[in-house]
Amino acid sequence: MLNVAQKRNLIHAETATAILEWDLTRGGQLTKFSLKSERGIREVLVGDVPAPNLTLEMPGRCFSVADVPAKARIIRKKKDRFTFATTARLDGIFTFEQEFDLFPEGGLFCEMGLFLDKEKTAKIRNAEMRFSMDVMSARNVLVNWISRDVLLKQDVTCIHVLATQNHALPRTESIDEPYLLPFVGLDLGWEDSRYFSHKFEMIIEDCTSIGGQMKAPVRTVAGPKDGRWELVWKLCEDSSERLTGPFLYRNRWGLFFGAARTGAGAKTDPARRNNLLGSRVCHVMYPYVRKGDEWPWGSVPVRQTFYQDAQIAKENPPLKRVDEAAKCGANVLILHQFWMRQAGSNGEPMADYQVNDPKWFKAFVGLAHKHCMRVLLYMRCI
């Protein structure tokens, strides 16, 4: 579901799980964002605090995108994608452009650009983008965030370079990190839900600054403030640089919003069908190492962990395992990497993503679908 309408200065969009509204009199910023459930609508972003509302502080003045009007241009309006662009002028010397991409599955992306006019100069001391969310009254709130700090995970044969992750933190958690966090998300559940009914997640692509050759200090600050939960991306902080046009800053941010899965089958809206929130998952794990003298089998390591030898694949799970999972109440099956001819594990060995036993695979998936269960394939992309 993706319904879009424009009435004068408002662009209104609705998916199966959310309602969004942009106000062109306020710089084309989001002035309404509500999460939907079968039992009602919950306002997350409200009009008194537009989002993300790029705000620039310069010597003697401070102004925001929401302080000025914007012009809009519809680029694409289809049932599976809505794209539009806005343009606004700031302080007589900047042009601010946004291109929004909205998808019915629950994704909004925005590519933004701040342009300083040719031969103009500006000293931007501070710049920030802010999401102020009215979620503190929810019964259940958990905070999740991913940093840009490197996490080195050592296995037997190599060291994996991963990102540090922080999950299921309390709503009182305060975040203050010296970079633009690429991901900050909230798990939400109100009184009418048993545990958690929605996800609201904010992402930003590049950890680059306005000025300083994109390497000046930036920061992320998040946590409870004045009865709301706020995320602030600081695109520059205490800068003394004077910028000279033509100058350009670009970045891309996005929102992911998901609701609990309450239906199955092809007729269920993808915004609810294509997510795991509220699903009951069975992870089907069987040994996956296969012997051989040539590619791809020849790249299997002697050992995969410190505490045991390589576990050699001997068989596929019998089909009765699907019936057992359904009897336990599962509605999603995750097939571990044994489904591949060569099951990769972070390059130890490389995966080939070819089905090892097509006949078994088709029968297994077919039986799962008869039980109205989804099947997800385990992948590491290497």
**CATH code of the domain containing 56:** 2.70.98.60
pLDDT at 295: 63
Looking at 224, 259, 294, the residue that finishes a domain is 259
Establish if 372 belongs to a structural domain: yes
pLDDT at 148: 92
Return d(Cα 375, Cα 130) in angstroms, integer.
Answer: 38
Return d(Cα 47, Cα 22) in angstroms, integer.
Answer: 10
The dihedral through the CA atoms of 243, 177, 188, 264 has a sign that is positive
CB 87 within 8 A of CB 21: no
pLDDT at 381: 63
pLDDT at 163: 84
**Length of the chain, in residues:** 382
Q: What is the mean pLDDT of each run of 10 residues along the chain (382 residues)?
A: 94 96 97 88 87 96 96 96 98 97 96 97 97 95 94 68 88 96 95 83 97 93 96 96 96 93 72 76 86 62 62 88 96 91 69 90 96 89 64
Token duo for residue 274: 């294509």
Are both 101 and 234 inside the same structural domain? yes
Cis peptide leading into residue 296 (ω within 30°): yes
What global pTM score does this model have?
Answer: 0.83
Tokens 């040994």 correspond to 287
pLDDT at 302: 53
Q: How many CB atoms are closer than 10 A to CB 359?
A: 9
Return d(Cα 247, Cα 245) in angstroms, integer.
Answer: 5
Are both 51 and 119 inside the same structural domain? yes
Establish if 196 belongs to a structural domain: yes
Are both 115 and 49 inside the same structural domain? yes
Q: Which domain holds residue 172?
A: 2-259
Establish if 169 belongs to a structural domain: yes
Establish if 274 belongs to a structural domain: no
The dihedral through the CA atoms of 284, 289, 290, 294 has a sign that is positive
Return d(Cα 102, Cα 80) in angstroms, integer.
Answer: 9
Are both 247 and 323 inside the same structural domain? no
Spatial CA neighbour of 128 closest among 47, 230, 34, 40:
230
Return d(Cα 251, Cα 364) in angstroms, integer.
Answer: 44
Return d(Cα 335, Cα 317) in angstroms, integer.
Answer: 10
CB 217 within 8 A of CB 209: yes
pLDDT at 278: 72
Return d(Cα 308, Cα 330) in angstroms, integer.
Answer: 30
Looking at 230, 259, 288, the residue that finishes a domain is 259
Establish if 264 belongs to a structural domain: no
Establish if 382 belongs to a structural domain: no
pLDDT at 11: 98
Return d(Cα 108, Cα 254) in angstroms, integer.
Answer: 5
Are both 319 and 221 inside the same structural domain? no
CA-CA distances (angstroms) from residue 333 to 40, 255, 365? 30, 27, 9
On the 0-12 / 13-18 / 19+ scale of CB atoms within 10 A, 328 is exposed
Return d(Cα 99, Cα 85) in angstroms, integer.
Answer: 4
Question: Residue 323 gets which letter from DSSP?
Answer: H
pLDDT at 121: 96
Spatial CA neighbour of 337 closest among 275, 284, 282, 279:
284
